[in-house]
């Protein structure tokens, strides 16, 4: 059976040689262009194009099958490392979100994990795709240069977790692609090769139908169309030459008509970019086919044409090619020199890429503070400003730092100009009559001559010689016979007698003092071991060193520190003073939640005073100690101990017991990989898929307000969604501090009214009242990065850098502990409930979810919540929040949850409370929101609250905040 055209497609070089040789069918230009493709391996090109049609030169192909030695199981991989050309290694352990290994076995899973990893942001000018199986080509991961650019990847390494493999740590490097048109053009000399078998030309001339089919398909080959696979898959079985002998086409007629096809390929640029020309060429080829069919041809004429083709073939064999680089932006060119038989291809140079972003250091501090970041991920950078060295985390292993490298030091400057030196110093003149220098009482003038020949004079004043000689002075001072007859009365010593010490009498006062002296046998001596009877009473406390053994006395300070009662450490402080509203936690408390202290956490006035970092999530937490409050009118007072008229803040009651303190996240929820965190200069997470959604966290929490209950649990089982009473406590602290402070050092936000924390709240990344507060954009609308305000201290609850930030605007925060059901009304969390046990927003009674009514007490707030409108805090001098020392009372519960009295609100509110508003509504399964977001200037503030959304609501400007507590 005759060999069909489709069976010969992988031998396209031989067939193309035959086409080239039929010179009477094509003009010289077309022949040359076809010759340029004669040796192209179409199979490789098609395979490469199946993995993406692009103009890059390089590829990294990761085929997991090549590393598998087992026929029954797939190897699992636990980590991918990307080594950049800069030498930085991006280590990406496959984390399952629970501290374990995520075992990945497929190309798609590995590719998706890599491209979604935080460290992948350091990879530029790179495309990563999963190439589907095609022909003999398996599924694989293809890494390639972005079009016209060069990737900054140097190599990729995978770590095998399980399975039988060739290499437990395979490494993949760059290789050239076969689909690169630029590479094809630069290798034109290798491509142009002519066939040697003239018999095939004769045979092909007798199989003109196949030639016509080739003409149709060659346009697609020249254009390098993405559908080249059709060359392999769509051609049918071509009938034998004998069957078609009766309808052989007239080659001479084709020679006359084929000029129409020649015009299509007049420019070699059509070969390199001919997506548009491909269709035109196909249409023209069909026209030629139709005309050729109508004319017919004889076998004898074909043989004659073959002889002419042989002559043209000899001419083509002498053709060579070369390439030259053109300036960026120019068009591809081609020229032919008939003298030397050379084609010259002009290939434009790629456009220069954009300037890369400047390197940004992740953290800056003293060298001693580097250990605070020991748990950060690979690639994390720390600049030690006291050493001028930069360190990088080499892996996720704790304290795995690189050796410090110099940072920020410029090149040595040019040598400065040579200074002007002194050539000589010479004596000029003197006022002494002798004319000599250094004479008694004379003034001498000296002259300095500099190396540039300039001069400067100066004077030396010689002292006057004395008329008294040293021998005379010595004789006088050695004369002890009182030559001047000085008496004791003359020198004021009339009461002096020459009495020996042993004969001196005791004075009256000395005698009285001696009489008061205790008997030696009844006192404690400074040295030696003694036992004395009786009780010793002192009028003031002695200074006692810290004890080193049992039964030794201890100072109050020593005892207080070890029991967590030191008022200088474990204290809320005084409103208006440095450190108010925050405290240093005893070691047992922060260790209980897995936190570590930041440098300066125990230094009053330090930016990190009372600040800790949660070890697992990296969240920054602020410690607020147990305290009591009292409200008189609209004035808030605080005490570290229970005093008459004061009541314990609701924040320090959990599970039916009083707790010593709480840790509140310093920032809104941010993302650290797949776990929730609270870190500065991060995009806050939201409950909407359009803006950094919480569904990106481990376990895929629902993108709604209720989903925040599970989102915070990715930090720790001990974490919980910050309750309403925490926000109310922070609002009280902020108001009292602003009113008492007289210095912006103690409270930065008091310089601009209202005397309350500022924030991102006017849809312009700043504060509506204070234009000096400017936020760094997160990239989403006018939402700012967490803690990024230019005057950061103005945005915290205590007006100091150590305080809790972003309570006024930027993002609404869903607060727990306050719900509503239509049948039950408004409900507040019972004091007997352990808030840490609430893990989701389940509405099933008895299930322990956030909307389980068994966890709540009913509270009557109908006097202020009745319609879908906003009312504002403050009404003249009326008291806004009720005061009660009875924790079971409605008044106490309303104040604890931030609900004002009916007479404490108005249509506009007062500046004293920041004109903050309460949006009141009767919504079933309500989710309480606090603080406001980046848009409204009048609806945001530390006391702002809205009751208009359900737990299933979702919004790009609504997130949350985490808290921890101590027991």
pTM of the model: 0.48
Provide DSSP, 182-229. HHHHHTHHHH------HHHHHHHHT-HHHHHHHHHHHHHHHHT-TTTH
* 3 state DSSP class of 882: coil
| Tokens of residue 590, six digits | 């922060």
Higher-pLDDT residue of 846, 273 = 846
Instruction: Return the percentage of the chain with pLDDT > 70, whole number.
Output: 71
d(CA 277, CA 283): 10
Give yes or no for residue 155 having a pLDDT over 70. yes
Give yes or no for residue 695 having a pLDDT over 80. yes
Report the C-alpha dihedral over residues 17, 18, 19, 25, rounded to 10 degrees.
130
The beta strands (E) that lie in 611-764 are given as: 611-614, 620-625, 628-632, 635-639, 647-648, 653-654, 657-658, 661-665, 670-672, 675-677, 720-721
Cis-peptide, bond into residue 162, ω within 30° of zero: no
- pLDDT number for residue 427: 87
Using CA atoms, how far residue 399 sits from 369, 374, 395, 593, in Å, is: 12, 4, 9, 21
Burial of 99 (0-12, 13-18, 19+ CB in 10 A): exposed
Ramachandran quadrant class, 810 (left: phi over 0; alpha: psi -120 to 50; beta: rest): left
pLDDT digits (tens, 9 = 90+) for 420-464: 788 888 888 998 888 888 888 889 888 988 888 888 898 888 887
DSSP secondary-structure letter at 431? S
- pLDDT number for residue 321: 58
Burial of 468 (0-12, 13-18, 19+ CB in 10 A): exposed
Of 191-200, 522-531, 835-844, 895-904, the least confident:
191-200
Residues written for the chain: 967
Higher-pLDDT residue of 323, 528 = 528
| Tokens of residue 843, six digits | 């509405």
- pLDDT number for residue 17: 54
d(CA 287, CA 280): 11
d(CA 670, CA 685): 5
Higher-pLDDT residue of 157, 364 = 157
* For residues 940-947, average pLDDT: 95
Mean pLDDT taken over the chain:
78
The beta strands (E) that lie in 342-388 are given as: 342-348, 363-365, 381-384
Provide DSSP, 347-359. EEPPPPPPPPPPP
* 3 state DSSP class of 46: helix
Give yes or no for residue 823 having a pLDDT over 60. yes
The residues, any chain, with a CB within 8 Å of residue 96's CB and separated by 6 or more, are 102, 698
Top mean pLDDT of 56-60, 360-364, 443-447, 522-526 is at: 443-447
pLDDT band at 269 (very low <50, low <70, confident <90, very high): very low
* 3 state DSSP class of 411: coil
Strands 171-172 and 153-162 turn out to be: antiparallel
Strands 945-946 and 917-920 turn out to be: parallel
* For residues 785-794, average pLDDT: 96
* For residues 865-884, average pLDDT: 91
pLDDT band at 245 (very low <50, low <70, confident <90, very high): very low
Of 342, 347, 339, residue with least CA distance to 321: 342
Higher-pLDDT residue of 702, 475 = 702
Count of CA atoms in the C-beta half-sphere (13 A) of 560: 10
pLDDT band at 232 (very low <50, low <70, confident <90, very high): very low
Higher-pLDDT residue of 720, 451 = 720
pLDDT digits (tens, 9 = 90+) for 592-637: 999 999 999 999 999 999 999 999 999 999 999 999 999 999 999 9
- pLDDT number for residue 621: 97
């Amino acid at each position: 059976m005759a060999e069909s055209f489709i069976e010969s497609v992988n031998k396209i070089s031989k067939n193309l040689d035959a086409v080239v040789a039929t010179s009477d069918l094509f003009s010289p230009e077309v022949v040359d262009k076809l010759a340029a493709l004669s040796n192209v391996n179409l199979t490789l090109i098609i395979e490469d194009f199946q993995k993406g049609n692009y103009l890059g030169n390089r590829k990294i192909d990761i085929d997991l099958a090549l590393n598998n030695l087992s026929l029954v199981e797939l190897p699992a991989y636990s980590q991918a490392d990307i080594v950049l050309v800069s030498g930085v290694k991006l280590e990406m352990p496959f984390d399952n979100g629970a501290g374990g290994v995520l075992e990945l076995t497929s190309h798609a899973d590995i590719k998706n994990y890599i491209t979604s990893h935080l460290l992948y942001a350091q990879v530029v000018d790179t495309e990563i795709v999963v190439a589907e199986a095609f022909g003999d080509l398996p599924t694989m991961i293809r890494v390639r240069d972005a079009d016209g650019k060069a990737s900054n990847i140097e190599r990729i390494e995978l770590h095998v977790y399980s399975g039988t493999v060739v290499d437990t740590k395979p490494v993949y490097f760059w290789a050239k692609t076969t689909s690169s048109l630029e590479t094809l053009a630069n290798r034109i000399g290798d491509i142009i090769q002519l066939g040697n078998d003239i018999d095939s030309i004769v045979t092909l001339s007798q199989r003109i139908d196949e030639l016509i089919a080739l003409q149709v398909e060659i346009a697609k080959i020249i254009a390098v169309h993405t559908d080249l696979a059709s060359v392999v898959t769509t051609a049918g079985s071509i009938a034998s030459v004998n069957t078609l002998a009766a309808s052989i086409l007239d080659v001479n007629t084709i020679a006359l008509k084929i000029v129409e096809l020649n015009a299509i390929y007049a420019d070699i640029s059509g070969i390199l970019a001919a997506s548009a020309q491909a269709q035109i060429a196909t249409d023209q080829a069909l026209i030629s086919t139709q005309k050729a069919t109508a004319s017919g041809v004889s076998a004898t004429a074909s043989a004659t044409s073959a002889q002419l083709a042989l002559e043209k073939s000899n001419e083509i064999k002498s053709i060579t090619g070369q390439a030259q680089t053109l300036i960026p932006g120019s068009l591809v060119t081609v020229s032919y020199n008939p003298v030397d038989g050379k084609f010259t291809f002009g290939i434009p140079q790629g456009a220069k890429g954009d300037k890369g972003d400047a390197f940004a250091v992740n953290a800056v501090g003293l060298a001693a503070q580097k250990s605070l970041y020991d748990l950060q991920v690979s690639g994390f950078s720390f600049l030690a400003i006291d050493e001028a060295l930069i360190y990088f985390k080499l892996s996720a292993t704790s304290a795995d730092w690189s050796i410090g490298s110099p940072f920020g030091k410029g090149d040595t400057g040019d040598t400065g100009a040579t200074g002007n030196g002194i050539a000589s110093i010479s004596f000029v003149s003197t006022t002494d009559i002798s004319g000599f220098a250094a004479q008694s009482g004379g003034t001498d003038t000296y002259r300095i001559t500099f190396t540039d020949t300039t001069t400067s004079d100066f004077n030396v004043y010689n002292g006057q010689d004395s008329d008294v000689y040293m021998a005379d002075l010595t004789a006088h001072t050695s004369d002890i016979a009182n030559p001047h007859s000085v008496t004791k009365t003359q020198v004021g010593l009339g009461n002096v007698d020459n009495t020996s010490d042993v004969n001196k009498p005791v004075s009256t006062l000395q005698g009285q003092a001696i009489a008061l002296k205790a008997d030696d046998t009844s006192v404690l001596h400074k040295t030696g071991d003694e036992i004395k009877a009786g009780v010793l009473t002192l009028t003031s406390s002695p200074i006692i060193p810290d004890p080193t053994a049992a039964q030794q006395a201890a100072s109050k300070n020593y005892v207080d520190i070890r029991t967590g009662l030191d008022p200088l450490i474990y204290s809320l402080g005084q409103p208006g003073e440095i450190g108010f509203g925050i405290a240093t936690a005893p070691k047992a408390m922060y260790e209980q939640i897995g936190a570590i202290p930041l440098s300066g956490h125990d230094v009053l006035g330090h930016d990190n005073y009372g600040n800790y970092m949660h070890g697992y999530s990296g969240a920054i937490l602020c410690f607020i100690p147990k305290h009591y409050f009292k409200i008189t009118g609209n004035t808030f007072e605080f005490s570290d101990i229970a005093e008459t008229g004061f009541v314990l803040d609701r924040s320090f009651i959990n599970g039916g017991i009083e707790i010593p303190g709480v840790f509140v996240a310093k920032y809104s929820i941010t993302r650290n990989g797949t776990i929730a965190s609270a870190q500065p200069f991060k995009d806050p997470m939201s409950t909407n898929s359009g803006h950094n959604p919480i569904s990106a966290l481990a376990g895929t929490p629902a993108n709604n307000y209720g989903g925040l209950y599970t989102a915070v649990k990715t930090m720790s089982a001990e974490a919980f969604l910050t309750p309403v009473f925490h926000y109310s406590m922070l609002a009280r602290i902020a108001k009292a501090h602003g009113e008492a402070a007289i210095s912006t050092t103690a409270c930065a936000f008091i310089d601009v009214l209202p005397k309350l924390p500022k924030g991102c709240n006017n849809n312009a990344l700043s504060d509506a009242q204070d234009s000096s507060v400017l936020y760094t954009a997160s990239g989403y609308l006018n939402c700012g990065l967490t803690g990024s305000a230019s005057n950061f201290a103005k945005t915290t609850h205590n007006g100091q850098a150590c305080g809790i930030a972003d309570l006024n605007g930027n993002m609404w925060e869903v607060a727990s502990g306050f719900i509503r059901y239509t049948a039950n009304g408004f409900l507040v969390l019972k004091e007997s409930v352990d808030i840490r046990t609430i893990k989701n927003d389940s509405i099933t009674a008895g299930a322990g979810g956030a909307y389980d009514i068994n966890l709540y007490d009913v509270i009557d707030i109908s006097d202020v919540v009745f319609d879908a409108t906003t009312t504002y805090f403050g009404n003249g001098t009326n008291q806004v929040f009720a005061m009660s020392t009875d924790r079971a009372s409605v008044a106490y519960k309303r104040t604890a949850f931030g609900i004002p009295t009916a007479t404490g609100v108005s249509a506009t509110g007062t500046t004293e409370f920041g004109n903050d508003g309460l949006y009141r509504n009767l919504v079933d399964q309500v989710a309480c929101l606090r603080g406001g977001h980046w848009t409204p200037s009048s609806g945001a503030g530390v006391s702002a609250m809205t009751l208009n959304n359900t737990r299933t609501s979702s919004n790009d400007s609504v997130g949350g905040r985490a808290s921890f507590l101590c027991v």
